[in-house]
Structure 1
């Protein structure tokens, strides 16, 4: 199918849409920009009802359910402190957490005011990565979202910055949004950013580069070369937005990256206008279990494999055996999520994916490169034939 036909069909049939908005869209030097919030709320109200808007129809059809992931708590907190003549450098984790604690209430009040004219109640949902890593909490969160949507309430999601510690942080709301795609079973992921879309090159090197209307295969992009730096008020940038889009694509979910400050931009997109960048979904979606396994947390180490093992993993659907391991990096425990990387003859390496290790790093160093009978001689009968089973592995993971 042509990507434009695919886009029209996906937007027309979407019933659950996740919309993420970055800090650079929602704020100006004085803090939250009320006019931007009001325009976005008006668009979302129209999208939610499947109704049209004057001069920017969203397309008629059945109602859609929406989830909003909103950044800008830190920026709102900084602006609030400044209005009270309290000027601090918001540098470091503790300062950002304190600013988020000040700003989160301001952010929710601003959204409440924006959605009130449309009769849409809102709910605040603050998450840490541990809420999605622990299976019971994952299921509880999923049930809560389902109940809120059933009540026709708009969930407004942000990271729980005040209590998150480094190892439990999502890193940015692009990452959080991509994990919510899996949690909620969303059909479309819309990312509103300060850029006009995905540029065909690095604007810091070539200011004349244009917007790519479609990314056919986000996994094939060289993100380091393509993307510039982070925005000044947020934690992400186009790199993190495309990484999030790649994760959504693996689930078979497309991403639409739009310039969030352009009036009625979402309704224009749903009405068929070619705006922003459409990131196509993967042709073959991975299972939601493998998605959860790969992105539940950051890898805690790396297992380097030889070219023979890499070929077996990539082309023959094999598991990783001890004989294919050449080097172990890190001090991870049994069951930890680790990177799998190919070790080349020239000393270079390339990441292949991630997986759950059946062995701790110390035990794996004892048995790497050995055959099964030799592993038994070292570890006894209580060992696994595979270092990482293929069912607990995701190749080409976006990490």
Structure 2
């Protein structure tokens, strides 16, 4: 399978912004094993600003644009150094790709991006993609790697998009405030009722929320692929997801009639 995996800041970093070594080591081990099994993996990784804020000893996610961009520059170095070190231990080569919205939306640039990613996969590399937060203010303002991952999955005709976050999936209500909230295991169609179940921001270091994940689900499922939202605290959940086992919330892709 060709799989795009997006990992959020909450999975990669502690609330302090410092690297969560246990989680990132487990993630790299599982992704390496999945590649060994023959799957093609594209990793969309958040976390540059959050990690940069931690490494610069800032009290939290910066509010002003210059500090956000400075934190991204510092954090991206740490992210890629860590990924390169960990994946190399499992004999896998990583490639860094930093993109802006124009790289996805502009015809010629989108084609170039597609060609580069396709060739990297053919060469056996594991592309690691992030928004170019150091120079692009629009992407930081949007802060939406969920949509970025969905657009990449659609462009590459991926079989599956997995969004790893700090929540088990889509619930009937906010599980943080409603003890009666229950997990929705499978979504066949994005109805108004499903969309009403989403809302709110993500963690203090990240910027995503369930609404951005449903936007990503619409992009991917309309292209015919499945999407799964799952908790990234235990990356081993990816084994069940790729095997089609119940895990998190699976959004069914729209299949063309036979």
Q: What TM-score comes out, normalization by structure 1 length?
A: 0.60
What number of residue pairs does the alignment pair up? 256
CA deviation string 1:92-123 (max 9, x = no partner): 32221111011101110111122121100101
- Displacement of 1:75 in angstroms is 0.9
- Displacement of 1:203 in angstroms is 2.7
- Displacement of 1:171 in angstroms is 3.5
Partner residue of 1:76? 51
Q: State the distance in 1 between where 2:42 and 2:224 align.
A: 19
* Counterparts of residues 231-310 of structure 1 (less than 5 Å): 231-284=203-256
Report the structure number with the largest CA radius of gyration: 1
**Gaps spanning 5+ residues in structure 1: where?**
1-14, 51-62, 286-399
Partner residue of 2:27? 40
Q: State the distance in 2 between where 1:132 and 1:114 align.
A: 29
Are 1:17 and 2:34 an aligned pair? no
- Displacement of 1:140 in angstroms is 0.8
Partner residue of 2:98? 126
Whether contact under 8 Å (1:129, 1:168) holds in the other structure is no
SS at match of 1:185: coil
Q: State the distance in 2 between where 1:263 and 1:126 align.
A: 24
Quick one: structure 1 residues 219 and 180, their matched pair in 2 at CA, closer, same or farther if it must change by over 3 Å?
Answer: farther
Q: State the distance in 2 between where 1:226 and 1:170 align.
A: 18
Quick one: structure 1 residues 88 and 273, their matched pair in 2 at CA, closer, same or farther if it must change by over 3 Å?
Answer: closer
Q: State the distance in 2 between where 1:228 and 1:167 align.
A: 19
- Displacement of 1:169 in angstroms is 6.5
Higher relative contact order (CA 8 A, sep 6+): 2
- Displacement of 1:223 in angstroms is 2.5
Partner residue of 1:161? 133
Quick one: structure 1 residues 263 and 158, their matched pair in 2 at CA, closer, same or farther if it must change by over 3 Å?
Answer: closer
Given the alignment, which residue of 66, 83, 92 partners 2:41?
Answer: 66
C-alpha RMSD of the superposition: 2.1
- Displacement of 1:166 in angstroms is 2.4
Whether contact under 8 Å (1:68, 1:157) holds in the other structure is yes
Quick one: structure 1 residues 255 and 164, their matched pair in 2 at CA, closer, same or farther if it must change by over 3 Å?
Answer: same
Whether contact under 8 Å (2:17, 2:50) holds in the other structure is no
Quick one: structure 1 residues 111 and 16, their matched pair in 2 at CA, closer, same or farther if it must change by over 3 Å?
Answer: same
Are 1:26 and 2:26 an aligned pair? no
Q: What TM-score comes out, normalization by structure 2 length?
A: 0.91
Whether contact under 8 Å (2:162, 2:227) holds in the other structure is yes
Whether contact under 8 Å (1:128, 1:169) holds in the other structure is no
**Gaps spanning 5+ residues in structure 2: where?**
none
* Counterparts of residues 1-399 of structure 1 (less than 5 Å): 15-28=1-14, 29=16, 31-50=18-37, 63-82=38-57, 90-166=62-138, 171-284=143-256
Whether contact under 8 Å (2:222, 2:254) holds in the other structure is yes
SS at match of 1:31: coil
Whether contact under 8 Å (2:6, 2:146) holds in the other structure is yes
Whether contact under 8 Å (1:34, 1:110) holds in the other structure is no
Whether contact under 8 Å (1:230, 1:236) holds in the other structure is yes
